[in-house]
Amino acid sequence: MIKAMRIHENGGPEVLKWEEIELPPPGDGEARIRHTAIALNFSDVNVRRGGFYIANPLQFPVILGNEAAGVVESVGPGVTEVKPGDRVAYVGVNAPFYEKTGSYAEQRNVPASCLIKLPDGVSERQAAALMLKGLTASLVINRNFKPTPGDTILIHAATSGVGTILSQWSKHLGATVIGTVGSQEKAEIAKANGCDHTILYRETDFVPEVKKIVPEGVSAVFDGVGKDTFIPSFDCTRPFGWLVNYGNASGHVPPVDILLLAKKGSLIITRPAYSTHVAVPAERDAACAELFDLVKQGVLKVESGTTYALKDAEQAHRDLEARKTVGSVVMIP
């Protein structure tokens, strides 16, 4: 028997239950992973709530989560990719991230083809903090807009999990970074993570504040907040600038009239998903290798986020929804 955090119905954080379950031996092509660090993601909250992008009805009970790191305990028939004792991490298991979940557990059987072996110098806690959020930052920077010296970038919710990595990485690439944040305390954290300027966007209109810093407008906006920030950001972006909406912490971005992009300066908008970025295994592995190198170089510092015990996942969800967390949140079984 192992312990897992399950839900038997959709609802608030109180529906999370810490329960004993039986885990069968790993099946064909699977490896049994003893989790040592489990990621908390905004998507987990959406699955718990029964959120807007759940296409197929959930079959309860459901173990939440789809990203973790740990050690291979045993392998099923036909597994050649890993062996017992290997340190590994994974994000998603051959389905949309919010389907086939199950990482909020002490152990889990995972298709071996989904596992990434961790190199020396990258801890399991760092890997759990890095996989989805780092691959999302990699998607934005490598597929959409790569900042260079001379660019000014606006990063919304700069102390969020993805926002922290985008801030560190954009600064490393030589950009001037403006971060919006929800509190003065978060402003200090954002500065420590590479933001040259911070704006308290819950108290002030960020558009004129950005224009004061960079009157011609920013080269790109990286936005995981969505509804509250994306369209207003058109007014602080330079002509031909990029607006990347990778998330929706405040809700869906409303539909955009494409003619608005011409009127606002021939802007470029995109709404990328990490799953496209990692769909080809060789490209996924290359993206992970780049992230691990950036961690080893000290460019990405992901271990300073918030940590909870897995059995306290209910509190972790409450804090995430109350905008109290900073950086990548990791839960320890």
Interface residue list for ligand NAP (CB under 6 A): 41-43, 132-133, 136, 157, 159-163, 181-182, 186, 224-225, 228, 246-250, 272-274, 320, 323, 325
Minimum distance from residue 279 beta carbon to ligand NAP (Å): 12
Which phi and psi angles does 52 have, rounded to 5°?
A: -65, -25
Minimum distance from residue 272 beta carbon to ligand NAP (Å): 6
Q: Could you give the CA distance from residue 136 to residue 75 in angstroms, rounded to a whole number?
A: 29
- Would you say 159 or 167 has its CB closer to ligand NAP? 159
Query: Residues 168, 189: contact at Cβ < 8 Å?
Result: no
Minimum distance from residue 123 beta carbon to ligand NAP (Å): 19
Amino acid at 84: P
Q: Could you give the CA distance from residue 67 to residue 284 in angstroms, rounded to a whole number?
A: 15
Task: Establish how many alpha carbons lie within 13 A of residue 144's alpha carbon, considering only the half-sphere containing its beta carbon.
Answer: 30
- Would you say 274 or 308 has its CB closer to ligand NAP? 274
- Tokens coding 275: 């799953």
Strand pairing of 67-75 and 62-63? unpaired
- Would you say 265 or 272 has its CB closer to ligand NAP? 272
Which phi and psi angles does 200 have, rounded to 5°?
A: -80, 90
Minimum distance from residue 55 beta carbon to ligand NAP (Å): 16
- Tokens coding 172: 């490393």
- Would you say 43 or 167 has its CB closer to ligand NAP? 43
Minimum distance from residue 225 beta carbon to ligand NAP (Å): 4
- Would you say 98 or 109 has its CB closer to ligand NAP? 98
Q: Which residue of the chain is nearest ligand NAP when measured via CB? A: 247
Cis? peptide before 61, omega within 30° of 0: yes
Minimum distance from residue 302 beta carbon to ligand NAP (Å): 11
DSSP-assigned states of every residue in 14-82:
GG-EEEEE--PPP-TTEEEEEEEEEEE-HHHHHHHHT-TT--S---SSEE---EEEEEEEEE-TT--S-
- Would you say 109 or 167 has its CB closer to ligand NAP? 167
- Would you say 75 or 132 has its CB closer to ligand NAP? 132
Across the chain, the runs of DSSP E, i.e. the strands, are 2-7, 17-21, 30-40, 62-63, 67-75, 87-91, 107-111, 116-117, 152-155, 176-181, 197-200, 218-223, 237-245, 268-270, 307-309, 329-332
Cα→Cα distances 13→8, 191, 261, 303, Å: 12, 31, 39, 25
- Would you say 176 or 198 has its CB closer to ligand NAP? 198
Q: Which residues contact 72 (CB under 8 A, 6 or more apart)?
A: 31, 32, 33, 34, 82, 83, 84, 85, 86, 88, 115
Minimum distance from residue 274 beta carbon to ligand NAP (Å): 3
- Would you say 94 or 266 has its CB closer to ligand NAP? 94
Minimum distance from residue 41 beta carbon to ligand NAP (Å): 6
Amino acid at 245: N
Minimum distance from residue 317 beta carbon to ligand NAP (Å): 10
